[in-house]
Structure formats: structure tokens, C-alpha cells
Amino acid sequence: MKIKLSRSPAPTSRQGDLVAAVKPLDFAAPEMVVSRPARKDPKDKNDPKGDHQRDPSRPAEELLHLLQVHQIELEMQNDALRQSQIELGKSRDRYIEFYDFAPVGYLTLNDKCLISEINLTGAALLGADRSKLVRRRFSPYVAPEELHRWRHHFLQMISEDEKQSCEVTLQRADQSRITVQMDSLRLVKGDQVFTTIVLIDITERKRLDVELRIAATAFESSESMVITGADSVILKVNHAFTVLTGYTAEEAIGGKMSMLSMDREDSSFYTEMRQSVRDTGAWQGEIWNQRKNGETTPLWLTITAVTASAGEITHFVGTLTDISALVKERAKMREELTTYQRSLDAVSLRMISVQEEIKRRLSGELHDRTSPNLAAIELDLSLIAAALPTELSDDLIMRLADTRALLEDTEASIREICGELRPAVLDYAGLVPALEGYASQFAMRTGMVVKVNCDIDRLSPEVESLLFRICQEAMTNSAKHSKANRITVGLSGAYPVTLTVTDDGVGFDLAALNAETPINGLGLLNMREITEISGGKFNIKSTPGAGTRIQIEI
């Protein structure tokens, strides 16, 4: 055996001991080789002295030195072996940890299909304790309908040296099922054949594959669909999109959805659309699409935002439905409704005209038939009073006076009723005198101050009748509900004519007028309907505690 000593590199602790043992020899050479003579067999006949005989010429110090070197050498080898054993233990522990806690299942089957080894992940996939799986068959954990596939795979993997793969459904100990990918490889150790199997749980992947196939089928449905990025750049379109817009997939992908816009909607429309998508994750509504050939098509667009786990929007999915037929039908219905509304308005105006005529006739009949009789009665009472002797009792005179007063009150009531029905002055003098006369009677009857400011010429009988009725309704409504002290009536302009009726009453909340069951608002609603039927504009302003102002333009 030879030991080579060198001055560099720096010696370790054991090497230092070796150098210390060699140092007393005081060799001059920078490096030396110490050789220990080979041990000889004491029975060797070629060695007359044998190994047990010591050469008397070799000094005892040299032999001692060689023994010390040999001892140090053995100790160094022992340390190296001990260190190698420690590293081997650590490596074994790391292997065990990797084997047991690997993300996939590992198991080994012998040629009888019995489990000889299995890691913790594999035991978890089978849903059983590892100690109960060793030396047990693997086939009971295969779903019954998959046994034929497993047997075919097992026979194939024990007869071939190449890796074999298949997908199998496993039935776990708790009867739940998972789908695994099985990668198997045959190993031969002497006369024994083993099979190592890697189990990868692909249950979630299979589920996602099914969902993706369903989504792909739905995507290629009859509905036009488009997928864009968060920047609205088109990433994918289906065939229905191509048919609807005229753009091929190659032409559409990479472009923006604005390529379909006709600019019929203003910027606020798209601002509200984007805000709705950010707030609710979706938007739907009607838009107009411009096809590649320039044709325009009404569409019903539904936008759904796709978000990442952190909540940020990554994609948009749009569904476009051609609603051309619906829009045409809607336009037809709108036209029919307009025609019906016009007919209804004409009928309503005719009814108003008939009502006015009936009121005019009733007022005339009431006036013409009662006034002469009342005048005759009053004349007869005067003649009777003149013919009676002067010595009549005071009681009879008082009764005669009461009868005359009652007659005068009846005449006043009839004139008032005739005026409410339709004042005769409206027909022969016009709207302004009729309003002034009605305002005077209204003030006497209610005690309110009524001021009329009119600066117009004669209008058509229909318009004069309409404005008189609206003014009459407004003043009556004010007297009933506003608790006002003063009413001002203004009339100006030619065509359009503007009528304003203002009071200083308590006012009201306009929301009550627009309710389904308005409070004290039937008169106002009637005025609005009559105005709009006649083609006019009705406007009302009211604030609680600040009065009401009604304005009519016809």
C-alpha cells in the first residue's frame, strides 16, 4: 500500500495527525511515498524466514511509524464510511418523503396483481389505509364496468417492456368514484416480475373537458356569439356571427366591436353600458349593427363579463340576436296604435263637442223655459201685492216678501246653473267676456279674489270652448283643494294660445299626480287629457306651500 503526502492543500485534522507522525522522519524531499511491504504467508516455502521473523536491520522506530500511519489511514476510512452512511440515511429519508407525499399515487404490483408497495397519495386515492392495502388485490378498487379495461391493461403491461397508459374509473372504499390516468411499466428483478404504476387523479380534468365540450357546442349554436378581451379586441367568433355580420372569423379576430357600430347611439349610451357591466357584470339592450356590406340590422346584445379570481375583468362574452322581425312587428304595432290613438282622439273630441252641444242646449232650454215663468210669477206677485188692502197684517206682508226673495234666489241659481253648463255669452261675445263673467260669479260664490288678464282676439268656437272648460275646471279645483285666497287667469297669444291659471294655495307634490291612484288629482288629469287630445301641451308647476301654476298651450 502506498501513501502520497503533499504540502498542499492544507491538511485536515486527520491529515494533520498523519503529517505529525511522518514529521519525525525529517525527509528532505518535498513529497515521499511510504510503502508497506506486502504481508507474506508464513507457510510460503520461498520465504525462508517467514513473516513472523523480523528483519533485525530495520529500526524499531520505522516500524512504529508505519503502524501509526496505518492506524490513521484506517480511522480516516472509517470516518468516510460513517459520513457516507449518514448521507445515505438522509437520501433514504428524502426518497421516502418524496415517495409518500408525491402529488401522484405510486404503487407496485407483483405478477399475481397483489399490491406490494403503495405510497400515501395512492392510498388516499383508493380511500383506504395503506396497511390494509399491502398484499391485497388492486382489482376490487376498479369500477365494475371498467374491469375489462383494467384486465386488458394488466396483461399488456406484464407482457411488454414499454410504458402502458390508460384511463380507468376507480371505486373507492366509500363507494365514491374518481377517474385516474394509469401509467404502468414492467420491472424484472431476477426471476420476479413487478409492475410500477403511477396514478394521476384526472376527475376534475374530465369534468372540465365535459364542460368545455358543452361550452364549445353551445358556442357553435344558432346564436351569434363573440368573445373579446378586456380591451374589447375580438378573440373568437362563431359561425353564426359570420352569417349575421358578414365578417369572416379571420376578418373579425383582432378587430374591435366598434367595427359593428353605426354611431346611432351617443357617447352616454356606451358610458352607461360600460358602467352597468362593471357594476353588475352584465348588460343587455337593443343596438343597431352595420353589416360588412353596409346593411343595418337591429340586434339584441347581451354582454357578460368574465372575471378572474381577484375580481378583475379578463374577457367579455357577447350574444347577438337578430330582432329585425321583432322591430318590424313593433313598428307595425306602433303605427296601428298611432292610428287607433288618432281615432280615439277624434272620438274623444267628438264626445267633447257633443257634450258642449248638450250643455249649450240644456242651458238654453233651462233658461228659456224657466225664465219667462219666473218673470210671470214675479209680475203676478207684484200685481197681487198692489191689489191687496193696506191694512193687511205684517205677517202676510213678510210672507210675500219671503216669496219674492225665494223667487229671486231661484232665478239666480238658474242663471248660475246655465252659466256652469255653458254661458250664452261664450257663443255670441267670445271667450274673454265669458271668462270675465264667470270669474265675477265665481268670486261672489267662493269669496276668493279672481283677476283676469286677457289680450286675445276671437278664436275658433272649439278652442274657445276648450279653454273655457279648462279654466273652469282649474278654478273649481283650486277652490276645492288649494285653500287659496287669490286666483289669476292669463290669456295671451294667437296660435298657439297660452292659458295660465295661478293660485296662492298650499300647493302639492307632483309625484302624487303621477301615481296610479292620484290624491285630489282627477281634475288635473282630466285637464291634461283634454289638452293632449286636442294636440296641446299641458304643464303644471306646484310646490308644497308655494301655490300652483297651470299652463296650457293650444
Is residue 230's pLDDT more than 50? yes
Q: What are phi and psi of 247, to 5 degrees?
A: -90, 130
Cα separation, 306 vs 287, whole angstroms: 22
Q: Where are the beta strands (DSSP E) in 467-547?
A: 486-492, 498-503, 537-542
**Per-residue pLDDT averaged across 213-220, rounded?**
75
pLDDT for the residue numbered 18? 38
pLDDT tops 70 at residue 23 = no
Most confident residue range from 162-166, 396-400, 416-420, 491-495: 162-166
- Decide which of 3.40.50.2020, 1.10.730.10, 3.30.565.10, 3.40.50.1370 is the CATH code for 429-554: 3.30.565.10
Would the pTM of this model clear 0.85, i.e. be above it? no
Read off the pLDDT of residues 38-93 as tens digits, 9 standing for 90 and up: 444 444 445 544 444 455 556 788 888 888 888 888 888 888 888 888 777 777 77
pLDDT band at 202 (very low <50, low <70, confident <90, very high): very high
Query: What is the mean predicted confidence (pLDDT) over 123-139?
Result: 90
List the CATH code of the domain at 101-206.
Answer: 3.30.450.20
CA distance 111 to 191: 11
pLDDT of 30 above 50? no
Contact indicator for 346, 261 with CB cutoff of 8 Å:
no
Could you tell me which residue, 170 or 263, shows the higher pLDDT? 170
What is the per-residue pLDDT for 522? 57
Domain ranges of the chain: 2-95, 101-206, 234-318, 323-422, 429-554
Tens-place pLDDT, residues 454-499: 888 888 888 888 888 888 888 888 888 888 899 999 988 877 889 9
* Residue 99 pLDDT class (50, 70, 90 cuts): confident
DSSP labels for 131-152?
GGTTTSBSGGGB-GGGHHHHHH
How high is the pLDDT of residue 502? 92
- What per-residue confidence (pLDDT) applies to 477? 86
Structural element, H or E, at residue 189: strand 177-189
Residue 200 has pLDDT above 90, yes or no: yes
Nearest CA-CA partner of 459 in 433, 437, 487, 420? 433
| Mean pLDDT of the residues in the chain | 80
Half-sphere exposure (Cβ direction) of 139: Cα atoms closer than 13 Å: 15
% of residues, the chain, pLDDT over 90: 13
- Residue 480: the pLDDT is 85
Q: Tell the residue number behind the cell numbers 282622439, with chain if given.
A: 345
Same fold, 101-206 and 429-554: no
End-to-end Cα separation, the chain, in angstroms: 131
4-18, 254-268, 306-320: range with lowest mean pLDDT: 4-18
Q: What integer pLDDT is reported at residue 462 of this predicted model?
A: 83
| pLDDT in the model for residue 393 | 66
Instruction: List pLDDT tens digits, range 305-340.
Output: 988 878 888 999 999 989 989 889 989 999 999 888
Say what the pLDDT of residue 524 is.
Answer: 79
* Banded model confidence at residue 14, pLDDT cuts 50, 70, 90: very low
More confidently predicted of 74 and 99: 74
Q: Cα–Cα distances in Å, from 411 out to 369, 376, 428, 434?
A: 12, 12, 22, 19
Q: List, as one string, the DSSP characters of 207-236.
A: HHHHHHHHHHHHHTSSSEEEEEETT-BEEE
Q: CATH for 234-318?
A: 3.30.450.20
